[in-house]
C-alpha cells in the first residue's frame, strides 16, 4: 500500500490511536480478529473521525463533538457493577423478563439470567470468549454497515458484549432485556451484542442504554441475525445522562420469510447518533422500523437508517417521529436502496417532526435509490409546530396550556407508539415520554 496515512488531527483522534496501540494486544480474539481490528484501525487512520464533509455524517460532526476520548473502561467487579446499576433507573421495573447486564462495556454474567435462559434453551456467551472461539464470523457485518466509521471503530475496540443464540424453533416465553449501563465516571465503551435467531425462532429483545457522565463516549453495536422464518422484535431505549456522546448502531440481517421489528427511542445523551442498517438477504421478509426521538435544549440526536433491498419480494416500513424542543437539534436520514433484481419490493418511509419552539432545528434527509423497475416505494417527510387551533380547543375545555401541549405531543407520537405492539415497551416508553414532557421542553 502506498496510501499515505493521514495525520490524525484532533486530540480525540490521537486519543483513539493511542488507545489502540496500548490495548491491541489485550483485546480478545485470535489472529483473524486482530486482522479485522487492524484493517478497521487503518481505515480510521486514513479518515479520522467522521465529520461534516462525510455525506452520511454531515449533520452529526463527531470530530467536532469529541474534544477528547476517555480511556476505554476496564471490567468492573460484579459488586461495583451492581452498585453502578443500582444507581440508575430500572426502565422496565417489575415487568417479567430475562435480564442481561453490561456495565461500562463488559458483560456481567454473574448479574445476569444466564442460567434461566439456558433452561429455556437459549445460550448466552460473553463476547470476549466467543471472539476467541469463532471470532471472524462474529465480526462480519453486511456490506452496508461494514464501511461505516462508527461500526469500524466498534470493530477496532470491542472488548466484550454478548452473544445471544436462539436455537431453531425456539420461542422465548418472555422478553430479554439487555441493559447497557454506564457508570458515573467518564469512560469510553465499545461493546458489541449479537442476537442470533436460528430458523423459526421468536424473541423480543429490549435494549436499554442508561447512565454515564459528562464526557462519556459509548460506541455500541447490536448485530441482529434473524434466520429464515424467525420473528424478532428489538426495542432500543437510549436514555443516557445529559453529557454523554452516544453512538449506537443496530445492524439487522434478515433471512427468508423473516420478520423483524426494530423500535428505537432516543431521549438521552448530549449528542446521540442512532444508526440502523437493514439488510434483506432472503425473499418474503418484512422489516418494520419505528423511531421515537425527543430532544431538548443543547441536545443533538440523529436517527440514520439504511435499508438494503438486495433480494426480491420484501417489505419495509419506516415510521420515525421526532419532537424537538427549544435550542435542540434533531436529524433524520433515511435511505432505501432497491438493488436491480430486487423486484416486487415494497418500501414505505415516513418521517415527521414536531418543533416545539422557533429555536428548534430539524434536518430531514429521506432518500430512495431504486434500481429495479417493478417496485413500490414511497417516502414522506413533514415538519411542523403544535397546531394553535387544536391547542385552543383543548384549553377552551379547561385543560391548562402545559397539559394541553403534553396531550398534543403524545398525540403526535401516538401513531408510532401504537405500532410498537409490545405492551411492556409501550408502558415503559409512555412513562419516559410523559416524564420528558413533565420536565418541560
Quote the CA–CA distance of 243 and 184 in Å, as a whole number: 11
Whichever of 120 and 399 has its CB closer to another protein, that residue is 399
For the CB of residue 412, give the shortest distance to another protein in the complex, in Å.
7
Of the ranges 37-45, 71-79, 339-347, 390-398, which one interacts with another protein (CB under 8 A)? Answer: 390-398
Cross-sheet strand order for the sheet of 315-324: 106-107, 98-103, 176-182, 202-211, 231-240, 259-266, 286-295, 315-324, 346-355, 376-385
The yes or no reply on residue 423 touching another protein (CB under 8 A) is no
The yes or no reply on residue 438 touching another protein (CB under 8 A) is no
For the CB of residue 266, give the shortest distance to another protein in the complex, in Å.
20
The yes or no reply on residue 404 touching another protein (CB under 8 A) is yes
The yes or no reply on residue 398 touching another protein (CB under 8 A) is yes
Of the ranges 44-52, 113-121, 174-182, 406-414, which one interacts with another protein (CB under 8 A)? Answer: 406-414
Cell of 146: 461494514
Of the ranges 86-94, 217-225, 322-330, 394-402, which one interacts with another protein (CB under 8 A)? Answer: 394-402
Quote the CA–CA distance of 111 and 282 in Å, as a whole number: 37
Residue from 410, 421, 422, 427 in contact with another protein (CB under 8 A): 410
Whichever of 110 and 440 has its CB closer to another protein, that residue is 440
The yes or no reply on residue 411 touching another protein (CB under 8 A) is yes
Quote the CA–CA distance of 210 and 301 in Å, as a whole number: 15
For the CB of residue 394, give the shortest distance to another protein in the complex, in Å.
7
Site pattern 370..389 for another protein (x: CB under 8 A): -------------------x
Cell of 413: 407520537
Residue from 32, 242, 372, 407 in contact with another protein (CB under 8 A): 407
Q: Smallest Cα–Cα separation from 93: which of 436, 432, 418, 358? A: 432
DSSP state of 121: T
Q: Is 180 helix (H, G, I), strand (E, B) or coil?
A: strand
Do the strands 329-338 and 176-182 form a parallel or antiparallel pair, or are they unpaired? unpaired
Contacts with another protein by CB under 8 A: the residue count is: 22
Whichever of 209 and 412 has its CB closer to another protein, that residue is 412
Write out the binding residues for another protein, residues 192-251 only, by CB under 8 A: none
The yes or no reply on residue 358 touching another protein (CB under 8 A) is no
Whichever of 127 and 386 has its CB closer to another protein, that residue is 386
Of the ranges 49-57, 125-133, 152-160, 411-419, which one interacts with another protein (CB under 8 A)? Answer: 411-419
Residue from 49, 85, 394, 428 in contact with another protein (CB under 8 A): 394
Q: Smallest Cα–Cα separation from 439: which of 312, 325, 293? A: 325
Q: Smallest Cα–Cα separation from 209: which of 201, 198, 217, 199? A: 217
Give the length of the chain. Answer: 441
The yes or no reply on residue 431 touching another protein (CB under 8 A) is no
Residue from 2, 7, 137, 396 in contact with another protein (CB under 8 A): 396
For the CB of residue 236, give the shortest distance to another protein in the complex, in Å.
23
Quote the CA–CA distance of 136 and 139 in Å, as a whole number: 5
Cell of 265: 427511542
The yes or no reply on residue 414 touching another protein (CB under 8 A) is yes
Taking the chain, what is the end-to-end CA distance rounded to the nearest angstrom? 52
Whichever of 183 and 352 has its CB closer to another protein, that residue is 352
Residue from 346, 365, 395, 426 in contact with another protein (CB under 8 A): 395
Whichever of 109 and 399 has its CB closer to another protein, that residue is 399
Quote the CA–CA distance of 278 and 308 in Å, as a whole number: 6
Cell of 31: 489472529
Whichever of 5 and 398 has its CB closer to another protein, that residue is 398
Count, in order, helices (H) and strands (E) of the chain: 11, 20
Strands (E), 356-390: 361-370, 376-385
Quote the CA–CA distance of 281 and 193 in Å, as a whole number: 21
Quote the CA–CA distance of 261 and 113 in Å, as a whole number: 24
Whichever of 32 and 407 has its CB closer to another protein, that residue is 407
For the CB of residue 322, give the shortest distance to another protein in the complex, in Å.
15
Site of interaction with another protein (CB under 8 A):
389-390, 392-401, 403-404, 407-408, 410-415
Amino acid at each position: 500500500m502506498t496510501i499515505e496515512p493521514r495525520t490524525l488531527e484532533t486530540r480525540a483522534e490521537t486519543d483513539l490511536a493511542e488507545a489502540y496501540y496500548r490495548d491491541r494486544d489485550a483485546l480478545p480474539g485470535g489472529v483473524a480478529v486482530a486482522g479485522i481490528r487492524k484493517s478497521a484501525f487503518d481505515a480510521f487512520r486514513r479518515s479520522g473521525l467522521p465529520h461534516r464533509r462525510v455525506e452520511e455524517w454531515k449533520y452529526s460532526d463527531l470530530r467536532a463533538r469529541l474534544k477528547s476520548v476517555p480511556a476505554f473502561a476496564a471490567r468492573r467487579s460484579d459488586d461495583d457493577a451492581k452498585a453502578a446499576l443500582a444507581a440508575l433507573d430500572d426502565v422496565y421495573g417489575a415487568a417479567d423478563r430475562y435480564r442481561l447486564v453490561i456495565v461500562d462495556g463488559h458483560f456481567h454474567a454473574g448479574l445476569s439470567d444466564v442460567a434461566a435462559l439456558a433452561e429455556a434453551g437459549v445460550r448466552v456467551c460473553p463476547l470476549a470468549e466467543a471472539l476467541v472461539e469463532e471470532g471472524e464470523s462474529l465480526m462480519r457485518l453486511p456490506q452496508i454497515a461494514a464501511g461505516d466509521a462508527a461500526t469500524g471503530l466498534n470493530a477496532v475496540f470491542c472488548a466484550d458484549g454478548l452473544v445471544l443464540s436462539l436455537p431453531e424453533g425456539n420461542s422465548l416465553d418472555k422478553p430479554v432485556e439487555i441493559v447497557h449501563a454506564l457508570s458515573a465516571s467518564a469512560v469510553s465503551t465499545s461493546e458489541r451484542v449479537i442476537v442470533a435467531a436460528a430458523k423459526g425462532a421468536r424473541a423480543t429483545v429490549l435494549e436499554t442504554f442508561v447512565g454515564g457522565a459528562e464526557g462519556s463516549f459509548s460506541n455500541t453495536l447490536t448485530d441482529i441475525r434473524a434466520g429464515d422464518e424467525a420473528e424478532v422484535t428489538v426495542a432500543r431505549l437510549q436514555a443516557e445522562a445529559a453529557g454523554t456522546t452516544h453512538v449506537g448502531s443496530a445492524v439487522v440481517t434478515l433471512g427468508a420469510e423473516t420478520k423483524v421489528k426494530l423500535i428505537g427511542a432516543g431521549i438521552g445523551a448530549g449528542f446521540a447518533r442512532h444508526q440502523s442498517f437493514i439488510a434483506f438477504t432472503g425473499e418474503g421478509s418484512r422489516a418494520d422500523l419505528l423511531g421515537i426521538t425527543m430532544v431538548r435544549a443543547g441536545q443533538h440526536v440523529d436517527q440514520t437508517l439504511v435499508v438494503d433491498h438486495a433480494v426480491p419480494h420484501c417489505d419495509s416500513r419506516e415510521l420515525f417521529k421526532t419532537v424537538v424542543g427549544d435550542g435542540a437539534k434533531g436529524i433524520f436520514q433515511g435511505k432505501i436502496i432497491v438493488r436491480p433484481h430486487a423486484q416486487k419490493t415494497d418500501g414505505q418511509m415516513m418521517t415527521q417532526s414536531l418543533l416545539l419552539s422557533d429555536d428548534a432545528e430539524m434536518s430531514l434527509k429521506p432518500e430512495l435509490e431504486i434500481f429495479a423497475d417493478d417496485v413500490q416505494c414511497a417516502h414522506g417527510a413533514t415538519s411542523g409546530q403544535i397546531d394553535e387551533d387544536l391547542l385552543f380547543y383543548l384549553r377552551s375545555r379547561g385543560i391548562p396550556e402545559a397539559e394541553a401541549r403534553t396531550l398534543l405531543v403524545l398525540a403526535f407520537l401516538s401513531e408510532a407508539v401504537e405500532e410498537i405492539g409490545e405492551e411492556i415497551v409501550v408502558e415503559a416508553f409512555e412513562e419516559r415520554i410523559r416524564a420528558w414532557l413533565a420536565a418541560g421542553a
